[in-house]
Structure 1
């Protein structure tokens, strides 16, 4: 960090591309450039197919496949489903804000650097380091989830051994070439995407009374839609936010994409598909097949709490082959989410280093684009945290980590929306029009303001839940320990922000008139590409055509 006024920034801080670009002398459009990301040693090796599939599958992990069981047990079917709807509307708005900025400014750590450019360097520092910690927590949580899944098959192998094995897998995927990482994630996302259709169809059939189980339908919705009242509904939100965390990774991969103007809008356009198929229909299948009072649900406090709720439903219906297949797909999902979190964590520290907020050596990458110095600390911290599961129950560790991650995620999503609002305000104030943007979000400004307001509201909600949790320990010690275990993320963010603010001094925000809107920007050739189609119907026609291209 440097102690200068925050209203000025250097080209290096903003990730300005100083590579050998050739511009049209009249229009300023880039007509040729080298293969590096903006002012970094990353390589532009990812295609539209990679970005689209990473956007579709990056956040499908433990939160949905396993965490939905804990939410169902604590809050009831209606609360679970409504929680996913609320969280879904928020991430939909956040991803639209990401899309507009990622095309203009495809920087290694994306929203971290956008925050420094449009909001405040201190905010960028707090967001970058808290988000890096969120990524390593996610690695740890997915590793402990893998152990829980394996335990459904066998407990013969020690927990620490399984954590080590899957940690090694995450490391190996990330130390390969970036293009190899992209191909692996395409395969994993394709499997997840295809399997959700199997889950929806099979569990609908089971709910109708086929198999060894009698017809259930919406019995549990009628009998116990809301457990623990309104507080139970609020208690769902940390898990739903944790389940959707990672959706913002499509912004991080833009720096390593050949043509963000083509790939990022497609990734943004596919967000509705993930929200409807994975989260809404996926959670609905849980609510119509499982009793929220079933003590086998993960986190319910019962003696058998390692299985995914979908696996329990298949077991009860007597279709064990589907139970085994589902457990295998979930295992693949959580490891995939862990690998993407390692990727994102390394790119976040690279962006911080470009801003002068981390050691400069973290900006280095080898000739194939692997950021070794940023990957190593991410691997080590994420792996070390995973070993907490050795001495604590999987459900307990999941509760800690999901609460921590969801608060970091809300901070990040809120900063993305705020950066987008300030970007568009600066754009208009400096005399530029929306038509000059390479791609425009059709829900701006309402989407960005809605996303920001909901993030702030949910941070307040989680403060309430940290002080008065569902399983409130009446002792003073229990209350204090519970509060810090569930709300320490916010304290970390505040300390980081105020510490950086004291170091930077100056104003509390970047002055809109002083922002150089061309620093860090990628220019594009004028092409005949049709404007993005508005609305869900238009995206429906296009989505299936490009998902697997």
Structure 2
């Protein structure tokens, strides 16, 4: 195909800026443009495949929040409280993921939702979201490292807490300083282990609940019948930060898209796997906890005993010690995996902020292996250093602090993703573009985006109530700021950014440049199967 080919020029509409543009090919996949990435380039390298992004999407958020935090939630909210909490949180991230899918295919940018917010909502909001999310990523690293201490405490307490933190901090650093495809392969292996083990957990817990274990008679829904809710409505609200924290990280599929060879092929598959993760890991996983472990068991994480995972307790109480040890090992792998993904995501967030002039320009640089050192080093150093808070405080106390801080940042991020999607669709419509021209469309539009945004706003308000009147604690300034300081910080940063940018209004959807930062696809990238190629007219 040459620039002077008049037949092709007439058919596709050639321009030096955009190459050959094909009209919509008739079944909703929109234009395919033969060109390089338009404005989405950085020094990061596209070394990740569909397999990488799909497995990272499946297992990226399976860490301490589910395996350990569900015990804390069970004790404070009861069986029905934790189950409903995961159902609600699951519906939210399902909606958010579909919004991510539609935007990540068209705008696969290094910090994804940060740059989308800057583009479609408000530069001040994008600035606030970027730094708030970076803040939450290194908090997550710290939380996962202190989770390692709790997990290993099941086997031995002879090793000092600081030593365990130091050892596994180095492990997370080593995973992140390899080439990005090495990071991807490690996460694929971890995700496969977690994904395979959940089937074992579901089947074995059903057997235990039915009375098939050596030391347990039939349990069934005994705990649902006796204590479905604990601490009433306030107990249910106290469950939500842990549920949100457990599912935080699911949005990382949007960040990974910037280093994926063909987001048009990879991202929809990752989004399509969301229902599997939600149903198997969270909803079924939380249900298994409620039918095998008593919410009053003193050994639950946050209790007075061993502070173990409820899944470990279920196997130990059932008289299956071997399964308890295997479960604890799986939790260790999960915690390390989630910590390493947070290091990856935090560094890429800084790259994206730098691209839009909201962070030092050095942070956008990467070496020949695609490693953004100026983003990686501060993320890993601060996150690991913060984990040493666990040396002088109990694991459950530190977990409570960090979960509340991270979950509120996550709610803000999820809300901005949904709002960016709503604004992007509005801009698309206002500027007279057809929805058929979108590279990929989610079938959840518009209700999915509005559903996610509604619950994000409502839960941030509900957590304010819980911060003023905390469960089992007096109303004090210390308790309020320990639980709600991230929202206070977000408000302060937003006001400061608004003053700096001197812009009182949001971005005008009628004038936003819809092609800046957009990925334009070749025909073979849009039409990925033989049937699609034929329907596109290339077969």
Give the TM-score of the pair, scaled to structure 1.
0.90
Question: Is the 1:37–1:108 contact (alpha carbons within 8 Å) kept by the matching residues of 2?
Answer: no
The answer for the alignment partner of 2:348 in structure 1 is 347
Deviation at 1:525, TM superposition (A): 1.9
Q: Does 1:60 align with 2:88?
A: no
The range that moved more, 389-398 or 202-211, is: 202-211
Q: Secondary structure at the match of 1:153?
A: coil
Q: Where do 1:212-231 residues align within 5 Å?
A: 212-231=215-234
Against the structure 1 CA distance between its residues 25 and 110, is the aligned structure 2 distance closer, same or farther, given a 3 Å change threshold?
A: closer
Whole-angstrom distance in 1 between the partners of 2:183 and 2:493: 32
- Of residues 486, 498, 501 in structure 2, which corresponds to 1:501? 498
- SS of 1:392's partner is coil
Query: How much has 1:29 moved relative to structure 2?
Result: 4.3
Partner of residue 145, structure 1: 147
Alignment partners' CA distance in 1, 2:306 and 2:344: 33
What is the total number of aligned residue pairs between the two structures?
A: 507
Distance 1:271 1:40 in 2: 28
The separation in 1 between residues aligned to 2:261 and 2:501, in whole angstroms, is 35
- Determine if contact 1:23/1:29 at 8 Å carries over to the other structure: no
Aligned to 1:11: none
Residue 469 of structure 1 deviates from its aligned partner by 1.1
Contact 1:75 1:228 survives alignment (8 Å)? yes
- Going from structure 1 to structure 2, the CA distance change for 1:145 and 1:26 (only over 3 Å counts) comes to closer
In structure 2, the residue matched to 1:528 is 527
**Mapped contact 1:411–1:455 kept (Cα < 8 A):** yes
Task: Say if 2:517 is the partner of 1:492.
Answer: no
- 1:198-250 CA-partner distances (Å, limit 9, x unpaired): 00001110111112111100000000000111111111110000000000000
| Mapped contact 1:173–1:181 kept (Cα < 8 A) | yes
Gap runs ≥5 in structure 1: 1-19, 534-549
Aligned with residue 514 of structure 1, among 506, 511, 514: 511
Q: Is the 8 A contact 1:265 1:532 kept in 2?
A: no
Residue 271, structure 1, aligned to residue 267, structure 2: no
Aligned pairs for 1:115-264 within 5 A: 115-211=117-213, 212-264=215-267
The 3 A distance-change label for structure 1 pair 21 and 179 is: farther
Distance 1:95 1:236 in 2: 22
Q: Give the secondary structure class of the aligned counterpart of 1:84.
A: helix
Match of 2:386 in 1: 385
Q: Are the counterparts in 2 of residues 364 and 373 from structure 1 also a CA contact under 8 Å?
A: yes
Query: Aligned-pair distance for 1:508?
Result: 2.4
By how many angstroms is 1:528 displaced? Answer: 3.4
Alpha-carbon contact 1:37-1:44 (below 8 Å) kept: no
Q: Cα RMSD (Å) of the superposition?
A: 1.8
Deviations 1:498-546 (A, max 9, x none): 000000012321011110000000011234347999xxxxxxxxxxxxx
1:246-305 per-residue CA deviation (whole Å, 9 max, x = no partner) reads 0000000000000000000000000000000000000001000111111111113x1322
Do the aligned partners of 1:37 and 1:256 also contact (CA within 8 Å) in 2?
A: no
8 A Cα contact 1:76 1:292, kept in partner: yes
Aligned to 2:5: none
Contact 2:219/2:291, CA 8 A, preserved across alignment: yes
Change (3 A) 1:22 1:97: closer
1:23 paired residue number: 19
Whether 2:336 is the aligned partner of 1:335: answer: yes
What SS is found at the alignment partner of 2:510?
helix
Residues 97-154 of structure 1: CA deviation (Å, up to 9, x unaligned)? 0000000000000000000000011000100000000000000000000010001101
User: 2:80 aligned with 1:78, yes or no?
Assistant: yes
Deviation at 1:22, TM superposition (A): 7.8
Is residue 39–residue 518 contact of structure 2 (8 Å, CA) maintained in 1? no
Superposed counterparts of 1:436-515, under 5 Å = 436-473=437-474, 479-515=476-512
> Which residue of 2 is the match for residue 408 of structure 1?
409
* Alignment partners' CA distance in 2, 1:464 and 1:197: 38
Query: Contact conserved, 2:35 with 2:522, CA < 8 A, in 1?
Result: no
Alpha-carbon separation, structure 1, partners of 2:251 and 2:206: 31
| Aligned residues of 1:220 and 1:291 also touching (Cα < 8 A) | yes
Distance 1:49 1:532, change over 3 A: farther
Distance 1:144 1:532, change over 3 A: farther
Q: Work out the CA distance in 1 between the residues paired with 2:520 and 2:191.
A: 30
Residue 104 of structure 1 corresponds to which residue in structure 2?
Answer: 106
Q: What stretches of structure 2 of length at least 5 have no aligned partner?
A: 1-15, 24-30, 533-539
| Corresponding residue for residue 542 of structure 1 | none
Closer/same/farther in 2, CA of residues 323 and 416 from structure 1, 3 Å limit: same
Change beyond 3 A, Cα 1:46–1:299? same
Shift of 1:24: 2.3
Counterparts in 2 of 1:103 and 1:26: CA distance versus 1, 3 Å: closer
Equivalent position of 1:541 in the other structure: none
Alpha-carbon contact 1:119-1:509 (below 8 Å) kept = yes
In 2, the alpha carbon distance for the partners of 1:231 and 1:531 equals 55
- Aligned to 1:225, the other structure's residue is in SS state coil
Q: Distance in 2 between matches of 1:499 and 1:262?
A: 40
CA distance in 2, matches of 1:532, 1:85: 37
Mapped to 2, the partners of 1:291 and 1:346 lie a distance apart of 41
Aligned to 1:544: none
Counterpart residue number, 1:17: none
Report the CA distance shift for 1:351/1:532 in structure 2 as closer, same or farther (over 3 A).
farther
**TM-score, L = length of structure 2:** 0.92
**Change in 2 beyond 3 A, CA 1:530/1:458:** farther
Task: Report the secondary structure of 1:519's partner residue.
Answer: coil
